[in-house]
Amino acid sequence: MTPTEDLVLELLIARTRLGHHIWTLSANSTVKKALSSLEVKGEVGWKHGIVERTYLAWLTDDAKIRHMSNDYVAPILGGQP
C-alpha cells in the first residue's frame, strides 16, 4: 500500500468512526490514483462529487470488518494509539 493509499484509508476509517460514512476529497491525480487502487483492493467505493473537482469516498463493508474493531477506544479517551 502506498503512503497516499494508507492516508486515504486512515482518513476514511477515522471519519467513519465519527459517523461520517461518506467523505469529500479534493480531486487530483494523486487522490484519484489512490482511490482507484483502493477500489480494486475492495477497500473503498468512490465517485465524482457534487462540487466540481471533488470525489466522494466511503469504506466498503468488507473494509469496515477488516479495519475497524468494535472495541476501539479513541486515544483521547484512554485507548492505545
The domain limits of the chain are 3-69
| Confidence at 81, pLDDT banded by 50, 70, 90 | low
Q: What is the pLDDT of residue 75?
A: 72
Residue 77 has pLDDT above 90, yes or no: no
What class has domain 3-69?
Answer: mainly alpha
Neighbours of 80 (CB within 10 A): 6
The torsion angles phi and psi of 57, rounded to 5 degrees, stand at -135, 150
22 contacts 10 by C-beta, under 8 angstroms: no
What confidence tier does 62 reach under pLDDT thresholds 50, 70, 90? very high
Nine-digit cell string for 80: 492505545
* 3-class state of residue 65 by DSSP: helix
Residue 74 has pLDDT above 90, yes or no: no
pLDDT confidence of residue 30: 97
pTM for this prediction? 0.85
Residue that wins the pLDDT comparison between 59 and 76: 59
